[in-house]
Amino acid sequence: MDYWTQPLNDYRSYLTLERSFSENTVDAYLRDVRKLLDFFRYKQLNLRPEEVKKDHLDQFIKWVAASGLGTNSQTRIISGVRAFYKFMLLEDTIDFDPTTFLKRPRTERKIPEVLSIEEMQKVLDSVDLSSDHGLRNRAMLETLYACGLRVSELTELKLSNLMLDNSYIKVIGKNNKERIVPIGEVASKHIKKYIKEARKKQHNVKKDSENILFLNHRGTYLTRVMVFKIVKEAVQRAGITKNISPHTFRHSFATHLIEGGADMRAVQDMLGHESIATTEVYAHIDKEYLRETILMYHPRGKGKS
């Protein structure tokens, strides 16, 4: 299929020069298109890019699905082929995009693990407040849960971005996007206690970490691994056997808000999600919790007649 060589070379140049994608990303886009070429070879279809019709692509989707790939992988491949044909349309190589009416497979949505409100309280209460590290760890865990932060947002949280008297913090999220997140009185109290009794007394703070809130014993940023370890230890002390990570605090934050009746858009803003669809998974958690509660406790829930 030599007549695909030039379009693919042009596509590579477009992704590299005009879209400024990394080499790995470019290779991934091209790999998706080459998967389509593998299908044409398998079916012995000698087609030029501009000769491909929706029927061919429908067959391709069925072939990919039959290969055993998960729906997330299938969706990614279809997106890659769509992107190639959008480029072809942009270059006036084709008059009509055959991917326009393609249907994507339903994406697998794994419902994340969450802690109940009672379990969360046990984890938070398990932290020993008799040491500087204990004050820091309790303030960290309270902040993770109170604000639904990602680990990177927690470790990079700055003293200058705290507006505790006004019950807000400023968070630097993905792609350096700033957002303002409300913070409750309990988390604020623990942050203030940590700052007053531990953070201000730490004399080995490195120059590039002077504005960072949560520091390690060497006076610099905490690593993601260290935060993970702190969470794991607190969960074990609380006697909870669920597979919990720092991100579980974010999941629990969102789930508990929605269970309490919070507006989905408000939760989206607080989490810093680009799409409301990402936030909607927490509504599914809420529904699943309700379903399990009904099956467990309702007198007709277990099929009795």
Residues taking part in catalysis: 150, 174, 247, 250, 273, 282
DSSP codes of every residue in 79-90: HHHHHHHHHHHH
**CA torsion angle for 124, 126, 132, 138 (degrees, to 10)?**
0
The contacts of residue 155 (CB under 8 Å, 6+ apart) are: 212, 214, 221, 222, 223, 224, 227
Classified as helix, coil or strand, 172 is strand
Burial class (CB in 10 A: 0-12, 13-18, 19+), 291: exposed
Which residues, 6+ apart, have CB-to-CB distance to 211 below 8 Å? 158, 159, 160
Burial class (CB in 10 A: 0-12, 13-18, 19+), 178: exposed
Tokens 């008297």, located at residue: 165
CA-to-CA distance for 31 and 179, rounded, in angstroms? 36
C-alpha span between 97 and 250 (Å, rounded): 40
DSSP 175: G
In angstroms, the CA 245 to CA 112 distance is 11
